[in-house]
Structure 1
Amino acid sequence: MEHPIPSGLPDPVKPGDLLALEVTALTPQGDGIAHTVGLGQGRVVFVSQAVPGDQVVAQITEIKRNYLVGRIRSLISPSPQRVRPACIVADKCGGCQWQHVSYAQQLATKQQILRDALERIGGLTLPQPVPILGSQQPLRYRNKVTYPMAKPEGQPLRMGYYQRGSHRLVNLNQCPVQDERLDVFLREIKRDLQETGWSVYDESRHQGHLRHLGLRIGRRTREVLLTLVSCSRRLPHLESWAERWMQRYPDLVGVCLNLNSARTNAIFGPETEVIAGRGALREEFAGFSLWIDSTSFFQVNTEQAEAFFTWIADQLNLR
């Protein structure tokens, strides 16, 4: 049986060591923060998938000059703020970092991150407490998704998100964070792209064509815009497939092709072509009617963006 080193013992600590730690906070990236000696002292340890209040046995994986990195080997005592993730691959997928943390704790952490940024970096004096506007719908809110693709030799097409800190793709058929009306597109368009026989981009060899599937939805209008990102336009019968999708999905208002041939991690290239329908969806936002195209910036949480916009307008007492 392996026995963890009590966190109060002095260094040296080496990779592979097991430490008994109490997690006290979260980083903006979602890692737990612990210390090798008591609260606020000793060396900082960043522990992935940890929650404030967890008591864990952590295995040290990296030793940096000013901090340690570890992963949970076992939970001694789970935090009251630890919850079951809504997604079955939350521990693998890099799309989310905080699904195992209660929403109340997420809000408290974000509140502290904002306060630290404004007070310690900005030098401002803030009221107590800093107001925070929590969402009425912490899941199923995303109005935009862009899924990278991969096609391993002899295997079906994969589409999803990368594992955190890697380019290993986690295949998805649904996502509890995106608008639920987009799940059907993820499943069925992936199946269709497999059927087309179009090549999929291999970043290691800089070969192939299809790179990403982009989806946007108007939360108020239900309009959906579908965008394929490809290295080239050499996609046989693309127009026929686009028309088929337009007929199959009543809410689909446009199919676009974005061209990105650069050897880059940027998703979109500089040129977008409308293949069928129109190149932008319409959305209603805070009394405005907006047109949003494939590459436009727009907040992914429509309701929270509108709440924030309305709050700012009220604070300014605009006339």
Structure 2
Amino acid sequence: MSLNQLSTDAENQPQQWQQGNLVEIVIDDLSDTGDGVGRFEERVVFVPDTVPGDRILARLIRVKPKYAYGKLYEILERSPHRRRPSCIVADKCGGCQWQSVAYEYQLKAKFNQVVQAIERIGGFTNPPVDPVLAAPEALGYRNKATYPLSRSAEGQVQAGYYQKGTHQLINLNQCPVQDERLNPLLKEIKQDIYNRGWSIYNETRHQGRLRHLGLRIGRRTGEMLLTLVVTDWTLQELETQAQEWLDRYPKLVGVSLNLNAKATNTIFGEKTRCIAGEAYLVEQFAGLEFQMLPTTFFQVNTEAAEALLEVIKLQLNLQGQEVLVDAYCGIGTLSLPLASQVKQVIGLEVQAAAVEQARFNAWRNNIENATFQLGSVEKALPALTIKPDVVLLDPPRQGCDRTVIDALIATKPQKIVYVSCKPATLARDLKLLCSDGNYELVRVQSADFFPQTSHVECAAFLELVGN
């Protein structure tokens, strides 16, 4: 359920429908932001940390004419779908929303989220949405984590995620959704930073050097990278400490600094320096080897991404003569494994470092029919001189620019695969692609890349009408 489904017309409110009041409700749904959804006097109430089937008391903390936000006050009757969280700070940490929700129900909620978006935003009736592919592992799956740093009142170095709705850091020594091999580094590196006396960035005063601790691991190779995000390059005895980390952790292959001196919520800056070891790790994905830098975009759930890629391969049923364009190609994660099944791969990517890595990854795997072009998809796709048979789209969360949609409609590739991590923008763009009758939505396959959260990955398959 989404807020855009709710009317906000003003009307007289009953006495009970006031901020601060306690109301008894039964939770019957989960919103696309992860909150439980119930109703009081036919009005919708969003309550975090609740599970469908819970009967609760909630305190109204923000009241609108047709809906309100509440805070869980007491569970009167527990849902059969409620589970004990794996994390001791799950009720505070903003990293996960659904650790209290049974995994089977998480999959059901994500399926409903996708169907509702495609029906209500996309305008499709009975869309061909398949059940969500379950993640091979519901915990310990993340191959990358980037933690903000702070200091406690006692001066200890803290790393973790922000408390829900705040910038109050919840300190973690381990995280149940990240690869468990990263947990020792999370705990011990904080102590090393404290011992070195390195200053921690204060976002209010914009003072201090260390902003974030980044950890990345190759799920198959076990190779790890450690990255410190800093406001300047100067950290006393950094090279000595970096070598100590390499000696202590045999699978740690590189230590880097990333420079971000801007007063921004963006984690990484544009410049990265390798301090010790290698600047990259090597991972095995879909039978190929990929080189990844600390700032490389790569799906955080390696195994779930491979499962979705297998669906894409089977659905496309490539015959070996196709020209495949991979828009927003990154380092070639999705298109390089498909290269052996097509005549030619053309990757389009706006990030220069990603293009360089994609080219290197093609060379590393002896793939000679893949080329990668630097430039925005908005400009590069309409400028292509060769007609694609298949276009693979994997845009950012905000979806495709209208110029990309128009270029696809004008070019008329036989098949389009649209991969998205946000059902709402996926549905919006599918409506545009299918509205003129040129394309038919033949399948939507979701995959759970993000267990314990409300996020879901989708692959939508479109075919040219009359193909």
Question: What TM-score, normalized to structure 2?
Answer: 0.64
Shift of residue 200 of structure 1? 0.2
- Give a deviation string over 1:288-310, Cα, whole Å, max 9, x none: 21111111111101000110011
Q: Are residues 1:26 and 2:23 paired?
A: no
Structure 1 pair 267–65 and aligned structure 2 pair: CA distance change class (3 A): farther
- Give a deviation string over 1:191-224, Cα, whole Å, max 9, x none: 1011110100001101000000000000000000
Shift of residue 43 of structure 1? 1.4
* Residue 169 of structure 1: aligned partner: 169
CA distance in 2, matches of 1:217, 1:131: 29
Q: Are residues 1:16 and 2:29 paired?
A: no
- Give a deviation string over 1:255-308, Cα, whole Å, max 9, x none: 010000000111101110011111111111111211111111111010001100
Q: Are residues 1:254 and 2:254 paired?
A: yes
Shift of residue 128 of structure 1? 6.4
Structure 1 pair 100–130 and aligned structure 2 pair: CA distance change class (3 A): same
Structure 1 vs Structure 2: percent identity of aligned residues? 51
CA distance in 1, matches of 2:170, 2:133: 32
Q: Are residues 1:67 and 2:67 paired?
A: yes
CA distance in 2, matches of 1:65, 1:203: 36
Q: What aligned pairs does 1:1-319 form with structure 2 within 5 A after superposition?
A: 10-37=14-41, 42-126=42-126, 130-319=130-319
CA distance in 2, matches of 1:45, 1:264: 33
Task: Say which SS state the counterpart of residue 264 (structure 1) adopts.
Answer: coil
Task: Say which SS state the counterpart of residue 147 (structure 2) adopts.
Answer: strand
Q: Return 151-160 or 286-295, whichever deviates more.
A: 151-160
Shift of residue 17 of structure 1? 0.7
Structure 1 pair 65–302 and aligned structure 2 pair: CA distance change class (3 A): same
The residue type equivalent to 1:151 in the other structure is: R
Task: Say which SS state the counterpart of residue 309 (structure 2) adopts.
Answer: helix
- Give a deviation string over 1:59-109, Cα, whole Å, max 9, x none: 111113431111121111111000000001100111110000000110000
CA distance in 1, matches of 2:96, 2:140: 13
Unaligned runs of 5+ in 2: 1-12, 320-467
CA distance in 1, matches of 2:123, 2:288: 36
CA distance in 1, matches of 2:181, 2:27: 37
The answer to whether the Cα contact below 8 Å between 2:118 and 2:127 also exists between their aligned partners in 1 is no
The answer to whether the Cα contact below 8 Å between 1:281 and 1:291 also exists between their aligned partners in 2 is yes
> Structure 1 residue runs of 4+, over 6 Å off?
none
The answer to whether the Cα contact below 8 Å between 2:140 and 2:178 also exists between their aligned partners in 1 is yes
The answer to whether the Cα contact below 8 Å between 1:115 and 1:130 also exists between their aligned partners in 2 is no
- RMSD between aligned alpha carbons? 1.4
Shift of residue 26 of structure 1? 0.4
CA distance in 2, matches of 1:237, 1:230: 15
The answer to whether the Cα contact below 8 Å between 1:218 and 1:282 also exists between their aligned partners in 2 is yes
CA distance in 1, matches of 2:107, 2:97: 14
Shift of residue 183 of structure 1? 0.2
Question: What TM-score, normalized to structure 1?
Answer: 0.93
